[in-house]
Structure 1
Amino acid sequence: MTSIPSRAVSLVARIERWPIAGSFTISRGTKTEAVVVVAEVSQDGVTGRGECVPYPRYGETPEAALSAIQAMQAPLASGIDRNALQAAMPAGAARNALDCALADLEAKRAGARIWQLLGRPAPEPRTTAYTISLGPAEAMAEATAKAAHRALLKIKLGGEGDAARIAAVRKAAPASELMVDANEAWTEDNLAANLKACADAGVTLIEQPLPAGKDEALARIERPVMVCADESVHDRASLEALRGRYDAVNIKLDKTGGLTEALAMADAAGALGFEIMIGCMVATSLSMAPAMLIAQAARFVDLDGPLLLARDRDHGLRYAGSLVYPPDAALWG
């Protein structure tokens, strides 16, 4: 029997806008929609999809990410795979979309789930954090009270007045586990006081209190609460410099440049003794689905992006209270 050769991979990419339910505020500003870039790679009548969120903090824009993805049409047609993609594109949002799309295509062509092909255990439901946007203490307490039934809350902080914010939030959610995310808004001058306020409120984890590149004070101060790197960590190459300053690392696929590097980074971070957090940007379930593989080894899971949207895409992840379930094949992987 003569085999039919596979056709070349084709690529389609586009920018999509998904309204946020209300607004979402962190120390760097407020937004009312999630702007994502979707890559679709097709071969032999099968299509794999990936989604990314270009982040201005790292100089990324949706238009630039779209162009970077489209520029990979010829290499894809020539047969570049996920492993070769790691060297062909820099880490970042654009590579993430393509990496996850290729993984999805690989699974769908094999008629298997991606974790089977990667030799990983099947993902199980995990408890995800739910994010409370930054605002005045009273407003944050009111929003927290509505979410106080959730097991894990992530509280956005912003610098001045954070001690009052976290105290008000704790009062509004006495039974929830709390994480806080300062998004680089603290300084060396208020670091100790804010750490104490978080410790007094029983906070479990503090994410990126100081600006990346200006976080040396974390190595010189007693840390009464676990401190997690976010903007200070991107991929495996950035892990070694964090030792002594951070206790945990936040892995985001838009930073690592996709699932391929994220899985390797999670393994490396665990070997170095870091606790693992899997995080996300505000995006649809297509962004969250690959991250569910990292969530299996993570102490902290923050994959609530779709819960913050006015609506999610078809076949989105299933959320039951604070539990998020692995993706169906119709969504990804």
Structure 2
Amino acid sequence: MSLSVTYRRDAMRMREPFRISGYLLHAMPATVVTVGDGTHFGRGEAAGVYYLNDDPPHMEREIERVRDALEAGVDRQGLQSLLPPGGARNALDCALWELESLKKATPVWRLAGVPESKPQVTTFTLPADDPAEILRRLEAFTSATSIKLKLEGDLAADTERVRAVRRARPDVWLSVDANQGFGAKDLEPLAAMLVDQDVALLEQPVRRGSEQLLDGWDAPLPVAADESILDLKELREQYRRFDIVNIKLDKCGGLTEALAMAAEARRLGLGVMVGNMAGSVLAAAPGFVLAQLCDVVDLDGPYFLAEPGADRGIFNAGKVMIPADFWGWGNPSSA
């Protein structure tokens, strides 16, 4: 079976600049891939991994490098060895999932063997800005029951950020994401402050490649890996240093490997989280399939896009739900 492969680039501009440790993001450009058999067409969207220079130009070069094999009719399993983990494989893998879903009139969640999709509580993310700006943005999340706050690696400033959010919203489940911002000397005081402020989860405190700083640290709250664990191989190498793994499809290269990572994380005794690299509903949809297996869901990316109506109404009362009529990512057999 021959396949057609096309792609386009989408600017994915954000409604407001978003600050994290080391970056001020105005957009998260993406490559949107369509794979078709002449009758049915599946889609996949990927932003890549910005801190690895895996951006749309790189993803598109990767697609062109293997175009002949793709168009000859590669399946999802063949794709795993054709391309390495990253955005290009993610977009193609997700497009192949949706293509199969549409051909069989069977939702992706059923093909993947996960529970039927149900609304999931999702975190909504606040930037590493000054407390006044954080509180201004927090006003938009009155219905949220789960909040993630970005930190920048300055313990004093980050303490003020956390305290401001906790004072304003003593009711929410609160996590923080350091985005690799801290060193060894800060771990103990950081954790003590977070425990004092009833923070439930610390994500990626140290730089990728410096995970040995966590060896022997008896953290008083769960610690999640994001940048430190990109794919299944790194999960097996690094899992002992973390309590939870944040699985992002752009990092691991698609839903196929993400499902394998979730199963392996459970086997290894880790909690499972699904995240996103911003993106539209099309990027969030395969993550939502994975979310049915997760302890923590962070799929707020579409909320932050500048285009009016970009989130397609998938957020309600602090939860996320992909609509039943969203092609293969909903439930085409019942829509």
Q: Same fold, TM exceeding 0.5? A: yes
**1:292 pairs with 2:288:** yes
Q: Report how many residues are paired.
A: 327
Counterpart of 1:173 in structure 2: which amino acid?
R
Amino-acid identity (%): 34
- Which of 233, 238, 260 aligns to 1:237? It is 233
Q: 1:26 corresponds to which residue?
A: 20
Question: In 1, Cα distance between the equivalents of 2:307 and 2:15?
Answer: 8
- Alpha-carbon distance change, 317 to 146 in structure 1, aligned in 2, over 3 angstroms: closer
Counterpart of 1:3 in structure 2 is none
Structure-2 separation of matches of 1:47 and 1:93: 19
Query: Matched residues in 1 for 2:325 and 2:60: separation?
Result: 25
Tell me if the contact between 1:227 and 1:248 (Cα under 8 Å) persists in the aligned partners: yes
Q: 1:86 aligns with which of 72, 80, 89?
A: 80
The residue aligned with 2:37 is 43
Structure 2 counterparts to residues 111-190 of structure 1, below 5 A: 111-160=105-154, 161-190=157-186
Rounded Cα–Cα distance in structure 1 between residues aligned with 2:106 and 2:304: 31
Q: Deviations over 1:49-89 (max 9, x none)?
A: 00001222112121111121233321122121000000000
Q: Does the CA contact (< 8 Å) of 2:302 and 2:311 recur in 1? A: no
Q: Which amino acid aligns with 2:303?
A: L
Distance 1:146 1:286, change over 3 A: closer
2: CA distance between counterparts of 1:84 and 1:194? 44
Query: Which residue identity does 1:107 align to in structure 2?
Result: S
**Aligned match for 1:191, one of 182, 187, 190:** 187
Does residue 324 in structure 1 map to residue 307 in structure 2? no
Shift of 1:173: 1.0
Q: Decide whether the 8 Å contact of 2:123 with 2:147 is kept in 1.
A: yes
Q: Which amino acid aligns with 1:186?
A: F
Asked if the contact 2:114/2:293 (under 8 Å) is kept, the reply is no
Aligned residues: CA RMSD = 1.7
C-alpha distance in 2 between matches for 1:20 and 1:58: 21
Structure 1 range deviating more: 99-108 or 10-19: 10-19
1:267 aligned counterpart, secondary structure:
helix
Q: CA deviation at 1:236?
A: 1.4
State the 1:172 CA deviation. 1.3
Tell me how far apart the structure 2 counterparts of residues 184 and 259 of structure 1 sit (CA, whole Å).
25
Mean Cα deviation higher: 141-150 or 100-109:
141-150
Code of the aligned partner of 2:113:
G
Normalized against structure 1, the TM-score is what? 0.93
* 1:284/1:313 contact within 8 Å kept: no
Q: 1:167 to 1:228 in 2, by over 3 A?
A: same
Preserved contact between residue 285 and residue 312 of structure 1 (Cα < 8 Å):
no
Q: Deviations over 1:221-271 (max 9, x none)?
A: 221111000000011111233243211000000011000000011000011
Relative distance call for 1:98 and 1:218 in structure 2 (3 A) is same
